[in-house]
Amino acid sequence: MTGAPITPESARGENAAARKPGRRRRVVSRIVLTIEPESAGGEAIDTAVRLARAYEAELVALFVKTSDMMNMVSLPFGAVLTSRGGVTRVIDRTMLEQRLDRLAHQAEAALARAASGVRWSFRTATGHTEQVAASEALQGDLLAICSRTARNVSEAVGAMACSLLLLGDGLDSQGRGRDRPVIALFEGDTVVLGAAREVAAAFGKELAVVLPHGMDARARRRATDWLSRRGLPTRLLQFSDPDGAALAAELVELGPGLLVMGRDAAASRQVQQTFETARRALPLLLVS
């Protein structure tokens, strides 16, 4: 992979169109955040709130009592074994319900503290995270899945025209991921660049753009022109290996705080499949 910074021209590189009050941008009117008990930390909530502010969007938060956990304690003699500090505890259904209710209240309180100035709602749901998310999402939504276990979310959502943000915990803007860039995998659709730019601006992160193998000079020029018109000092990197797994490994090595890809683009689908197979916890934004 090779690359160099894109330096915007001093006069023309300032995006005059961006200063026009009628400028159009990609509209996200609603962000749906699903939270699992195992991933109920405040970082995912902070991520969703920041994006809601950036898009001036409504935030709908769903705390998911996952089916696998609830079904386990519903079986005869069913229980959940946990170990903390070397002490093993058996949790029955009543104890589990109480614990989940406490976690849900904590998540709602964290959302209330963080979401000043944002329209938001919060409720609990029971089921598989993928199914709960798919039943709630509408066309044009940004669907944020906070889960370390959910897989094949794109298949669960099916043909629904919504973008997917796959989170482990959050984008960690205040912690170890603070200096990690937002990386866009560009396959010709400038909507991907626009989404990456929005997130990078919302979290104060550097933006880098990766061009997959086989991209022609015209598509490359389209990316550089789009970025230069908006005055963005961006790293542009050309990848030379056609293998999707090799591309995914190279992207991990770059250490992104978020990887932004087209939901249905060819290289993006290969990379997503590789990540899911390897169960990597790299946050992904799949743009529709």
Domains and CATH numbers, the chain: 26-74+90-170 (3.40.50.620), 177-288 (3.40.50.620)
Q: Which amino acid is at 170?
A: G
Amino acid code (one letter) for 57: A
Sorted by sequence, the CB contacts under 8 Å of residue 76 that are 6+ apart come out as: none
Burial class (CB in 10 A: 0-12, 13-18, 19+), 174: exposed
Task: Identify the pLDDT of residue 6.
Answer: 35
Residue 193 neighbours by CB under 8 Å, 6+ apart: 184, 186, 209, 223, 226, 227
Identify the pLDDT of residue 7.
Answer: 34
Q: How far apart are CA 62 and CA 34, in angstroms?
A: 5
- Take residue 209 and report the two structure tokens written for it: 């753009």
> What does the DSSP 8-state code read for residue 150?
-
Distance CA 196, CA 81 (A): 42
CA atoms of 178 and 214, how far apart (whole Å): 32
Measured in degrees and rounded to the nearest 5, phi and psi for residue 63 equal -90, 120
pLDDT of residue 53: 92
- Full pLDDT tens readout for the chain, 288 residues: 444 433 333 223 333 333 333 334 457 899 999 988 876 667 889 999 999 998 999 999 999 987 666 555 554 444 554 545 554 455 567 777 888 888 899 999 999 999 999 999 999 998 888 888 888 888 889 999 887 666 667 777 766 778 989 886 667 644 455 678 899 999 989 999 999 999 998 888 889 999 888 777 888 888 888 888 887 766 788 887 778 788 888 888 888 889 999 988 888 888 888 877 766 667 889 998
The whole-number pLDDT of residue 100 equals: 87
What pLDDT does residue 224 have? 86
Q: What is the pLDDT of residue 139?
A: 85
Q: Is-contact 275 248, C-beta < 8 A?
A: yes
Local structure of 157: helix, strand or coil: helix
Task: Show the beta-strand stretches assigned E in the chain.
Answer: 2-6, 30-35, 58-66, 80-84, 87-91, 120-127, 142-146, 163-167, 182-185, 207-211, 234-238, 258-262, 284-287
The confidence score (pLDDT) of residue 271 equals: 87
Any idea of the CA torsion for 108, 43, 133, 53, to the nearest 10 degrees? Answer: 80
In this predicted structure, what is the pLDDT of residue 68?
Answer: 62
